[in-house]
């Protein structure tokens, strides 16, 4: 096999046109990155600084101060199913200020009981539609512990949170919030995707403070309103005989940006054009042998046809992986250099090749090139003509990316999942509203296409006359 | 340039037509072009429903353009057909006999262009009519009814007729562009990859760039995007380029490709 691989490698590197095609993989990918980067620097001149916090702190909070250690206990009687991640529960918050440290124990319509703190930390409690449910947050020094119960006698610990340097007097109380929901509307031949606020509502009773020893504490006796809903006036609260009804809108926690720019994917997107060269090379690598009758010499020298194809796949995959890696690293560096001098979307990890997510996208792009070339080799072995093989490989790769704007989002999503175009998912580094498939799963779809095609090709190659 | 004698042209035409239609791949590719166009159009039409809109009458869907969208796929078969008409002469060596029989390279290319464009027109007519039939059959079931303000597709409607005729012409121009590039490149794989890149890369890059001016430029001067603007029947004032000027952009590409092909054809050894 080593000899075979060596033979195929010699063939590949000694045809000038093929080496140029490999160079085209790099050139096309980098060229698109340069075009994209230069079009973006136009933005910087007009100046659109993106300064957004990477967390949200929007809620309706009914609170009172708690000095020293103690607990807040409440029962969530019911919660409206305004959003799968609508939140209602008890909270310890250092100050009434956006971004102040907090710990919250809450119920959600679809994700059970959760203990969350400091924007982005999350521990799951019991699952399932949990109301009515008793919730308790106990503060002891810097440590806040969450308990839940269905009957107020058997308490189960959900988790423990260490809020560093928590002030001695904090605000405790009950809160309600409900995140934006995604709406898709089709008009003028394309889909508009936008977010709409939802209004969360929940009913609480048995709201009380407890002192450090567990005895009921009167607090200062007065519950105050703090409305930081996403739109002022959306939140409200009423109280009668100890039953609180709260409404609120927004989210507390890490922000999901459904419309965020995936800067890594953008910088690598030239691969959509670069794969064309990889597909052409893959097809030519075998059809040139068919056309010139070379294949008979090849098979005379090594009658194991499956092995010949395997050697071809290894050499071709290796070469396109190498060229693809150069292409994606160059494209990434070119593009990032321009991003650094222009705008940066916050909330993204530091964009360097040392970042594992970035590295996955960059190396994954090189794997993508290799898989497309091998897929093309296999298809070309099946159809034995580059004129058929190249469009058969290229069309399913590119057309989904082009038609997605005109088709409904759900159709576009399925088209991306089921075609070899799924492989491009490996370039994603953030989750957006239009994310169709997980990065490695997408690459797996493409790999499956390549593997099946290679299997059929081996079978036909053995069965047919050369 | 001397005027072309009609008889020699007729003979060259007959020769090219015979060559094109006596290889088994031509009917297959023609069938593939029609089938891909109709299937793509039917799929696109079936995917869109008025229930996706705020209200059925507020869809503002360009149902004609939607019904013709299979051309995105069908054109690939026409590209293959047109490229092969020239490149297979080089790969099989018949170009030598062709030029021995008819030494005027201008005539050979003109005859090839006519044969290829006629075949593409045929594919276009069949594919577009099939797409329209599919659209007529599927659209009302998805809520695009007269009650919601959508007249059934009809060739008697001016903009519809323009879109239909324009799409057929689009296909012929794509064939000429392919033939021109194939004459320059003289290699099947290279020419097909080149044409497909030229067609599909522009819209992809246009989606990428964030600057709207660049986006507009790419959409205005990309051969496929510009050429297919002839399919639009709604909100024409918002198009990057008008229907006929857009087709003109594609015609310019095809013309430049054919002229470069002719120049190189006349300069180079076969």
ipTM: 0.88
Task: Give which of A411, A385, A381 is closest to A399, Cα–Cα.
Answer: A411
A202 close to A78: Cβ distance less than 8 angstroms:
yes
Long-range contacts of B137-143 (CB under 8 A, 24+ apart): B138/B42, B138/B45, B138/B46, B139/B45, B139/B63, B139/B67, B142/B45, B142/B46, B142/B48, B142/B49, B142/B50, B143/B49, B143/B50, B143/B51, B143/B56
With an 8 Å Cβ cutoff, are B210 and A402 in contact?
A: no
Partners of A398 on chain B (C-beta within 8 Å) are 196, 200, 204
Q: What is the DSSP letter of A153?
A: S
Determine which of A32, A272, A281, A391 to mutate to test the interface with B (most B C-beta atoms within 10 Å). Answer: A391
pLDDT value of residue A49:
43
Instruction: Residue A259: count other Cβ atoms within 10 Å of its Cβ.
Output: 10
- In order of A212, A384, B188, the CA distances from A457 in angstroms are 74, 10, 22
- For residue B7, how many C-alpha atoms fall within 13 Å in the half-sphere facing its CB? 0
Q: Are β-strands A243-248 and A200-211 bridged in parallel, bridged antiparallel, or unpaired? A: antiparallel
Q: Which long-range contacts (CB under 8 A, 24 or more apart) does A413-418 make?
A: A416/A442, A417/A442, A417/A445, A418/A445
Does the pLDDT at position B30 exceed 60?
yes
Distance CA A46, CA B159 (A): 39
Residue A340, pLDDT score: 63
At residue A151, the pLDDT reads 87
Which chain B residues touch A405 with a CB distance below 8 Å? 207
More confident residue, B249 or A351: B249
- Tell me the pTM: 0.83
Interchain CB distance below 8 Å, B60 and A188: yes
Please enumerate in sequence order all residues whose Cβ is within 8 A of that of B82, keeping only pairs 6 or more positions apart, or say none: B116, B120, B174, B175, B176, B177, B178, B179, B182
Alpha-carbon distance of A179 to A230, in angstroms, equals 9
Eight-class DSSP state of A112 = E
Q: What pLDDT does residue B99 have?
A: 86
Q: Under a CB-based contact definition with an 8 Å cutoff, are residues A333 and A326 in contact?
A: no
**Average pLDDT of B24-32?**
92
Q: Which residues of A374-388 are buried (b: 16+ CB within 10 A; e: fewer)?
A: bbbbbbbbbbbbbbb
Dump pLDDT digits (tens) for A176-228. Answer: 999 988 877 777 777 777 888 889 999 999 999 988 887 777 777 789 988 88
Distance from CA of A91 to the nearest CA of B (A): 39
pLDDT at A343: 52
What are the respective helix, strand and coil percentages of chain A, to the nearest 5?
Answer: 45, 25, 30
- For an interface test with B, which of A21, A290, A376, A398 has the most B Cβ atoms less than 10 Å from its Cβ? A398
B139, HSE (Cβ side, Cα atoms, 13 Å): 27
- How far does the CA of residue B84 sit from the closest CA of chain A (Å)? 8
Q: How many CB atoms lie within 10 A of CB A355?
A: 16
Asked if A332 and A358 count as a contact pair (C-beta separation under 8 A), the reply is yes
Among the ranges given (A266-275, B139-148, B255-264), the one the predictor scored with the smallest mean pLDDT? B139-148
CB atoms within 10 A of CB B21: 13
pLDDT for B234 equals: 82
Residues B9-35, mean pLDDT to the nearest whole number: 90
Q: How far is it, in rounded angstroms, from Cα A62 to Cα A236? A: 10
Closest CA to B192 of A328, A393, A293: A393
Low-confidence ranges of chain A (pLDDT < 70): 40-53, 128-130, 234, 339-350, 466
Residue B219 has pLDDT above 80, yes or no: yes
Share of chain B above pLDDT 90, in %: 46
A280: nearest CB among B58, B60, B193: B193
First-to-final CA distance of chain B: 21
Answer whether B80 sits within 8 Å of A388, measured CB to CB: yes
**Looking at chain A, how many residues does it have?**
466
């Amino acid at each position: 096999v080593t000899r075979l691989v060596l033979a195929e490698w010699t063939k590949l590197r000694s045809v000038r046109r093929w080496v140029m095609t490999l160079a085209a993989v790099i050139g096309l990918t980098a060229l698109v990155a340069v075009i994209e980067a230069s079009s973006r620097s136009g933005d910087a001149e007009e100046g659109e600084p993106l300064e957004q916090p990477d967390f949200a702190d929007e809620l309706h909070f009914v609170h009172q101060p708690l000095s020293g250690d103690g607990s807040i206990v409440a029962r969530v009687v019911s919660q409206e199913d305004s959003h799968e991640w609508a939140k209602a529960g008890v909270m310890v918050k250092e100050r009434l200020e956006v971004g102040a440290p907090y710990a919250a124990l809450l119920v959600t319509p679809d994700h059970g009981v959760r203990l969350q703190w400091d924007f982005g930390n999350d521990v799951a409690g019991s699952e399932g539609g949990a109301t009515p449910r008793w919730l308790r947050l106990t503060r002891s020094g810097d440590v806040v512990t969450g308990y839940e119960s269905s009957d107020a006698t058997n308490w189960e610990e959900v988790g423990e949170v260490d809020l560093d340097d928590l002030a001695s007097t904090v605000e405790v109380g009950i809160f309600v919030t409900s995140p934006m929901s995604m709406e898709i509307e089709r008009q003028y031949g394309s889909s508009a995707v936008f977010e709409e606020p939802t209004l969360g509502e929940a009913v609480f009773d048995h709201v009380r403070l407890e002192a450090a020893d567990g005895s009921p504490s009167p607090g200062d006796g007065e519950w105050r309103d703090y409305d930081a809903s996403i739109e002022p006036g959306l939140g409200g609260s009423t109280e009668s005989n100890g039953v609180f009804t709260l409404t609120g809108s927004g989210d507390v926690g890490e922000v999901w940006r459904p419309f965020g720019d995936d800067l890594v994917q953008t910088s690598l997107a030239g691969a959509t054009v670069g794969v064309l060269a990889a597909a052409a090379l893959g097809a030519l690598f075998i059809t040139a042998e068919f056309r010139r009758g070379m294949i008979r010499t090849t098979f005379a020298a090594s009658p194991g046809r499956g092995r010949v194809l395997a050697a071809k796949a290894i050499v071709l995959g290796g070469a396109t992986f190498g060229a693809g890696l150069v292409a994606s690293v160059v494209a990434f560096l070119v593009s990032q250099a321009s991003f650094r001098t222009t705008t940066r979307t916050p909330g993204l990890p530091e964009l360097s090749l040392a970042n594992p997510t970035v590295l996955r996208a960059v190396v994954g792009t090189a794997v993508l090139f290799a898989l497309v070339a091998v897929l093309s080799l296999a298809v070309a072995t099946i159809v034995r003509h580059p004129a058929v093989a190249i469009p058969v490989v290229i069309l399913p790769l590119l057309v989904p990316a082009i038609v997605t704007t005109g088709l409904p989002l759900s159709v576009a999503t399925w088209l991306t999942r089921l075609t070899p175009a799924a492989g491009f998912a490996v370039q994603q580094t953030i989750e957006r509203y239009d994310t169709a498939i997980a990065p490695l799963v997408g690459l797996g779809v493409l790999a499956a296409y390549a593997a099946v095609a290679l299997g059929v090709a081996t079978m036909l190659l053995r069965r047919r006359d050369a | 340039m001397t005027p072309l004698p009609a008889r020699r042209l007729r003979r060259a035409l007959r020769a090219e037509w015979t060559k094109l239609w006596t290889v088994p791949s031509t009917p297959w590719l023609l069938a593939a072009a029609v089938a891909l166009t109709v299937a793509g159009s039917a799929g696109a039409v079936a995917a869109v429903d008025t229930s996706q809109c705020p209200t059925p009458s507020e869809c503002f869907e360009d149902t004609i353009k939607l019904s013709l969208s299979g051309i995105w796929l069908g054109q690939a078969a026409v590209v293959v057909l047109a490229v092969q008409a020239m490149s297979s002469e080089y790969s099989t060596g018949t170009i030598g006999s062709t030029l021995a029989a008819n030494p005027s390279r201008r005539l050979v290319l003109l005859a090839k262009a006519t044969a290829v464009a006629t075949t593409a027109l045929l594919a276009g007519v069949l594919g577009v009519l099939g797409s329209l039939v599919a659209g007529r059959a599927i659209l009302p079931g998805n809520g695009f009814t007269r009650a919601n303000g959508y007249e059934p597709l009809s060739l008697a409607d001016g903009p519809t007729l323009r879109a239909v005729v324009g799409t057929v012409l689009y296909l012929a121009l794509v064939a000429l562009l392919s033939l021109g590039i194939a004459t320059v490149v003289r290699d099947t794989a290279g020419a097909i990859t080149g044409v497909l890149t030229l067609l599909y890369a522009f819209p992809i890059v246009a989606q990428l760039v964030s600057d709207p001016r660049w986006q507009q430029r790419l959409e205005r001067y990309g051969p496929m995007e510009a050429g297919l603007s002839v399919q639009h029947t709604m909100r024409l004032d918002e198009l990057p380029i008008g229907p006929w000027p857009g087709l003109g952009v594609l015609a310019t590409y095809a013309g430049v490709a054919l002229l470069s092909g002719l120049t190189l054809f006349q300069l180079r050894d076969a």
